Amino acid sequence: MSEDDVTSAPTADAEARAVELQRRLTELEAQSRERLIRAELKAEAIRAKMVDLDGLKLVDPSAVTVDEAGEVQGAAALIQSLRRTKPWLFTAASASSAATPPPAEPPRTRLATQMTTKEWLAARADLLRRR
């Protein structure tokens, strides 16, 4: 065995390992980019008041890109186009203000002293009918 064979074997192992690590790094970058796009699409869908996030299966995420700074480009536009083409996936927009209903209170019973004679006779007849 020559001296060249001994030094070339570790070098070949190191090169093969470097190639494998580079391949894994590329795979991990693609997976993280895909997860980032999916998360941004979910956030935009929630902002657009999507009823069910399963509706995201209808969009093509390849229209969304990630720039060099890591910002997702095109997610908002994609959700807006989905909202135009499939409006039933989103809650209806309301032009009125979101008013809160009055608090629920049990009906107050009126005392006989607070009623007129006509109201008292009607209330008494109603009570007698229920018996």
Q: Is the pLDDT reported for residue 131 higher than 90?
A: no
Cα 108 from Cα 123, distance rounded (Å): 14
More confident residue, 94 or 116: 116
Residue pLDDT, tens place only, 98-111 = 677 778 888 788 88
Residue whose entry in the numeric block shows the structure tokens 């979910």: 42
Token pair of 107, please?
């009906």
Res 93: pLDDT: 63
Kindly list the domain boundaries of the chain, sorted by start residue.
10-91
| Residue spans of alpha helices (H) in the chain | 3-47, 75-85, 117-130
Read off the pLDDT of each residue in 23-30 and give the average, rounded to a whole number.
94
Task: Characterise 29 by phi-psi region: left (phi > 0), alpha (psi -120 to 50), beta (else).
Answer: alpha
Gyration radius (Cα) of the chain, Å:
35
Q: Is the pTM of this model over 0.85?
A: no
Res 121: pLDDT: 94
